[in-house]
Amino acid sequence: MKFSEKQIDRYSRQIILKKIGFTGQKKLLKSSVLIVGAGGLGSPIAIYLAALGIGKIGIIDKDSVEISNLTRQIIFTTKDIKKKKSLIAIDKLKKINPDIKLKSFYKKLTIKNIGSIAKNFDLIVDGSDNFRTRFLINDYCLKFNKILISGAISKFEGQIYTFNFTKKNSPCLRCFIPKMPSNPDVDNCEYEGVMGTLGGIVGSIQANEVVKEILNIGETLCGYILIVDGLKLNFRKVKLNKRSNCYCNEKK
Ligand SMILES: [Zn+2]
């Protein structure tokens, strides 16, 4: 792949970075990322990944924009209310960066369709709002050795995990949460509330993790969970060990 003059201009501030350069930018442009959920996390994740030049981005979301989404789902505007999130998000990303390939999936991610959708992407970013989807993505990525960058927000708090299943010693979500919570389909933000900016903080960190995993630079968060307290402004990195009786150990 040869860079056009426009591409050199567009990505110049990253290309100039020693740890990225032309080689790294090329890697980003050749990589593909599936974003699950175009919500409070999915919005900043998608905006940054498109802007910085991930070559192919997929967005899956079954919902339409509601007025209560707009405090944090910054890819949408008031005019987008009632429109399909995945389609609108793709339209916006095209304007941010026409240089990349985009694909929208206006559907719910299920055990039946995850294989056919996710197989076309190198890396999965979870910005979903419920445990059923989080476990589904964890189990899929574990089975097919994919890298998963997961985030969650509630109230003034956030969590980020990176599971790199291309490595044998990566823990999984079930190491940390062994059993699916009793109400796996509930979106906690709807009941407990969430501060809009937490989506930006956590989503931006997830996008940053994506770049690090693709370029293999810096220290990955794999093996840790990052807990963000937006009120005290504490960032705690807690070691996340592989649980000996977790089913991720059964995988050979
Ligand atoms: Zn596990």
Q: What percent of the chain has pLDDT over 90?
A: 87
Q: Is the pTM of this model over 0.75?
A: yes
- Percent of the chain surpassing pLDDT 70: 98
Ligand 1 centroid, distance to 28 Cα (angstroms): 29
CA-CA distance, 9 to 49, in Å (whole number)? 17
- What's the mean pLDDT in 50-70? 97
CA of 249 to the centre of ligand 1 (A): 7
- State both tokens at 228: 């963000």
pLDDT score recorded for residue 252 = 52
- Tell me, in angstroms, the distance from the centre of ligand 1 to residue 170's CA: 8
Q: How far is the CA of 138 from the centre of ligand 1 (A)?
A: 9
Centre of ligand 1 to C-alpha 88, Å, is 35
What's the 190 CA to ligand 1 centre distance in angstroms?
Answer: 28
Compute, in angstroms, the gap from residue 44 CA to the centroid of ligand 1.
28
112-165 per-position pLDDT tens digit: 999 999 999 999 999 998 999 999 999 999 999 999 999 999 999 999 999 999
Q: How far is the CA of 149 from the centre of ligand 1 (A)?
A: 15
* CA of residue 166 to ligand 1 center, whole Å: 14
| pLDDT confidence of residue 169 | 87
> Rounded CA gap, 189 and 135, in Å?
18
